Amino acid sequence: MRLNQNTLLLGKKVVLVPYTSEHVPRYHEWMKSEELQRLTASEPLTLEQEYAMQHSWREDQDKPSCRGRGFGTEAVLMMMSYGVTKLGLTKFEAKIGQENEPSIRMFQKLHFEQVAVSSIFQEVTLRLTVSQAERQWLLEQTSHMEEQLYREGSAEPC
């Protein structure tokens, strides 16, 4: 997380900022939703555990009710574009709960291909290898994206 700890990505519908401690209470409230837990294959955490998780994500050296409006698609495209242009990534992989059909469809629309299904973990693995054509398509999809300096408290989550 340190590499992009001060990066803010501004899209048409979405602003991506580093996950800071100020975001934890709202995130914790969102994650109380049984449906969201099921769709993300997440277990409920206490607020204290959530702060510990945020701290862990923040310090990791290697690490990034609005459905149906394109926010998730734009957020994924923005993260992928950043990964390709700034981090040199050439492959992406997503593991999604088998019942999370909207997310599976979204990743398929983003050119990911299903490569595995785990009946034990009830998840689907989708993968995208970024060819030159895929890279060009991705950059076209995110040509509106701006990168700015992030300061804590400078972007309010929805």
Q: How far apart, in whole angstroms, are the C-alpha atoms of residue 122 and residue 52?
A: 27
pTM above 0.75, yes or no: no
Summarize the confidence of residues 130-149 as an average pLDDT. 93
Summarize the confidence of residues 48-73 as an average pLDDT. 73
- pLDDT value for 44: 87
Tell me if 13 sits within 8 A of 66, measured CB to CB.
no
The order of strands in the sheet holding 113-118 is 91-97, 123-129, 113-118
CA quadruple 15, 39, 25, 65: dihedral positive or negative?
positive
